[in-house]
Chain A
Amino acid sequence: MRYQLMTAALAATVALQFAGPAAATDLEVTHWWTSGGEAAAVAELAKAFDATGNHWVDGAIAGSGGTARPIMISRITGGDPMGATQFNHGRQAEELVQAGLMRDLTDLATKEKWTEIVQPKSLLDGCTLDGKIYCVPVNIHSWQWLWLSNAAFKKAGVPVPKNWNEYVAAAPALEKAGILPLAVGGQPWQASGAFDVLLAAVGGTDAFLKVYKDKDAEFAAGPEVAKVFKAADDARKMAKNTNVQDWNQATNLVITGKAGGQIMGDWAQGEFQVAGQVAGKDYTCLPGLGLNEMIATGGDAFYFPLLKDPEKSKAQEVLAHTLLDPKTQVAFNLKKGSLPVRGDVDLKAANDCMKKGLEILAKGNVMPWTDQLLSQDTQKQKEDLFSEFFAKQDMTVEDAQKRFATIVGSAD
């Protein structure tokens, strides 16, 4: 491992020299990382990039990917592209690539041997179209986490649950203690994501793939998925009184012990960290809801629009290199609460939860996530369905499942 690190460092130096002592080139980078933990993580990227003698112009767009993406896409298609931009790798930028608006990074990738350093390999697949690489994955984010407030359970007088089923069983006790059992923010993607996690955890990996990869509508309408909807029904009952919108506000409810737990991706960890909480002591994390310990290889990636200015193009290469640099990877992912995209970095500083994730990763228990499997269109329809499902207690489970099957049937 140490040896690998050194080679990487060496490679970095070489690459830097290749890039030349670029006279500070401004490169605008757009992203939607604006919460406390996210901003701290992005600062690491900026720091590393600025250290190469260039300048990171921060183009943060608050809201969420939903707010930011249209703006980014308008700018790229409108002929005013930024230097680099965040997307979830997968299918979000597919058409931009097809339209020839994004820069082909294959040469750089070959030179720097990305196919070897990026682990797990499936990450690069998300960046690859027709054999060419168009993006740099920067982290692995997995959705399948349950975050529990130890303080809340203590207050309710029940032990911290070990899995989803125990958690559901503990809900009445939490409620009695005046604690919201489950926090689900009002933003549609949170409800939809929570369901996906339940599908993967309660239904199992195969069920998940059958629904989202094979788009098997019949299966989606069948009894196995009905089980998942039953769990989702539990979840919405537990989350009934959530009065917040943003995911990090929901996380904050867990941090402050006002809520028992939250189903949220590992980025929530950054919030716990910013709040100075310690994994294991103040909060507990259950990957795969304690039922199915898998890590989804979703995550963030940077894409580089095709630019005319050679100076900026050069700076783009430097940035791409910097993003994969082991040091950057470590610093960034520690702050972000996500896992690094290369297996050769040392995460001594990682906390309990991250280590759990790394372990699962090392075992190769990885699965693709909806960002890779489904189009944004299908994702959005799913969001509409589940945000309605979670908000409208009188919507029947059967009805929801029927609509879900329809969406799966027409998914692309």
Chain B
Amino acid sequence: MSKSERPSQLFRNLNAKVASIPMIFTALVIFVGGTLWTVLYSFTNSKLLPRLHFVGLDQYYRLWATPRWLISIENLLIYGVLSLVFSLVIGFLLAALLDQKIRFEDTFRTIFLYPFALSFIVTGLVWQWLLNPEFGVQGVVRSLGWTSFSFNPLYDSSIVIYGILIAALWQGTGLIMCLMLAGLRGIDEDIWKAARVDGIPTWKTYLFIIIPMMRPVFITTLVIVASNIVRVYDLVVAQTSGGPGIASEVPAKYVYDYMFFAQNLGQGFAASTMMLLSVIIVIVPWAYLEFGGKKRV
């Protein structure tokens, strides 16, 4: 009786599916496929070229017995936590300052944002130069008479990671500020009026009312900052090459070095598998909560 046949489930929404082919391809072939491939070969003893000669968990035993890997993990944790906290805090504070209906807002914003236009390579080079003990900040301060002044993060194993952090924050906080500023501008003026009438101090309004309302902004920011943290590589290479010694090594660099310099793909794949694993453990549940459940009625 029904004239229109129920179309097959596959062809419903056909255009959307066709249009999504690049995305599906990227997701499945590149990200999932590449990942599975990487995981598979992490169980082999592939050297320069990938070969399917399985050696069980050997690469992983070796990985976790390697001091450089452990240092890399430690560095990433320090760098990650600090960079997350500082870029959110500084970014938010700058945005809050700019949001005070100040003059020259455009100028200030441009100044805070411009480093973002520069690559990590450039950032690393400039800060390597600025932090050079001879003619950088330390040298200049010393030449001004304070001869005991010591600020030499790039050649001091114990603080080198902070030297990298300084450069990373310089490069990245501008974007965070922009995101936060946009978020602040999106807050209903009435909220501010209400808080003012209630006599809530400004800082409390920010802390207890505005920030909770900016949840989506913080989430977008978190994705951007966190993904950059895990992938940090160029900056370290340009600024310290992992030195002094191996004091500023990071996991991504370990992966790269062992895959290509050491020509030990298996080891590099094992390290990347560990990175992926930790990313997946943290990200996937969150991503499902954030993006998966939302249905529109």
Q: Which A173-199 residues have C-beta < 8 A from chain B? A: 186-188
A141 at the interface (CB under 8 A from B): no
Find the residue from B48, B68, B244 having the highest chain A CB count within 10 A: B48
Are A380 and B241 in contact, CB atoms less than 8 angstroms apart?
Answer: no
**CB-CB nearest in chain A for B68:** A384
What residue in chain B is nearest A187 (Cβ atoms)?
Answer: B241
| Contact in complex: B247, A95 (CB < 8 Å) | no
**CA gap between A272 and B264 in the complex, in Å:** 36
For the complex, would chain A's binding face be called helix, strand, loop or mixed by DSSP majority?
helix
Chain B residues touching A, majority SS? loop
- Interface size range of chain B in the complex: 20 to 34
CA distance A95 to B264 in the complex (A): 11
> Does B205 touch A at the CB level, under 8 Å?
no
Q: B260 touching A70 by the CB < 8 A rule? A: yes
Give A92 to B66 CA distance when docked, in angstroms. Answer: 23
Inter-chain contacts of B133 with A (CB < 8 A):
243
Q: Which one of B48, B49, B244, B258 lies within 8 Å of A380 (CB-CB)?
A: B258
Q: B258 to A375, Cβ gap below 8 A?
A: no
Which residues in window 24-54 of A have CB below 8 A to B? none
Look across to chain A and name the residue whose beta carbon is closest to the beta carbon of B45: A412
Cα A99 to Cα B49 in complex, Å, equals 8
Query: Contact partner of A94 among B48, B240, B260, CB < 8 A?
Result: B48
CB contact under 8 A between A387 and B132, given known A73-B48, A376-B263, A377-B263: no
- Cα separation A380 to B259 with both chains bound (whole Å): 11
A380 touches B245 (CB 8 A): no
Instruction: Please give, as numbers and ranges, the residues of chain A lying within 8 Å of B247 by CB-CB distance.
Output: 388, 391-392
Least distance between B147 CB and chain A CB atoms (Å): 15
Q: Which of A214-231 contact B (CB under 8 A)?
A: none
Q: Is B44 an interface residue (CB 8 A)?
A: no
Please, how many angstroms separate the alpha-carbon atoms of A375 and B67 in the complex?
20
Chain B CB within 10 A, most for which of A187, A243, A390? A243
B49 to chain A: which residues have CB within 8 Å? 77, 95-96, 98-99
Give which listed residue, A69, A375, A389, A391, contacts B243 with CB less than 8 A. A391
What is the bound-complex CA distance between A95 and B244, given in angstroms? 32
Contact, CB under 8 Å: A66 / B245: no
Contacting residues, chain A, for B29 (C-beta < 8 A) = none
Which residue of chain B is the closest to A241 with respect to CB atoms?
B155
Q: A17 near B: Cβ within 8 Å? A: no
Contacts of B134 in A (CB 8 A): 243
In the assembled complex, A110 has its CB within 8 A of some CB on chain B: no
Residue in B241, B256, B262 whose CB lies within 8 Å of A377: B262
In the assembled complex, B130 has its CB within 8 A of some CB on chain A: no
Flag if B48 contacts A245 (CB, 8 Å). Answer: no
Which chain B residues numbered 227 to 268 have a C-beta less than 8 Å away from chain A? Answer: 240-247, 256-264, 267
| Residues of the B chain whose Cβ atoms lie less than 8 Å from the Cβ of A376 | 48, 261-264
A377-412 contacts to B, CB under 8 A, are 377, 379-381, 384, 387-392, 403, 410
Q: Which chain A residue shows the least CB distance to B69? A: A384
Interface centre among A92, A377, A389, A390 (most CB of B within 10 A): A377
Judge whether A95 and B47 touch: CB under 8 Å.
yes
Q: Is the CB of B246 within 8 A of A92?
A: no
Does B244 contact A96, Cβ atoms closer than 8 Å? no
For A73, the chain B residues whose CB sits under 8 A away are 48, 260, 263
CA distance A49 to B32 in the complex (A): 47
Contact of A381 among B132, B244, B262 (CB under 8 A): B262
Report how far A69 CA is from B260 CA in the complex, Å: 7
In the complex, B157 has a CB within 8 A of chain A? yes
**A245–B47 contact, CB under 8 A?**
no
CB-contacts of A238-263 with B (<8 A) = 243, 245
- Name the interface residues of B17-59: CB closer than 8 Å to any CB of A: 47-49
Q: Sorted from nearest, which 6 A-B pairs have the closest CB atoms?
A: A391-B245, A70-B260, A380-B262, A391-B244, A95-B48, A377-B264
Measuring CB to CB, which residues of chain B are less than 8 angstroms from any residue of chain A?
A: 47-49, 62, 66-68, 132-134, 155, 157, 240-247, 256-264, 267
Q: Which residues of A contact B (CB under 8 A)?
A: 66, 69-70, 73, 77, 92, 94-96, 98-99, 186-188, 243, 245, 375-377, 379-381, 384, 387-392, 403, 410
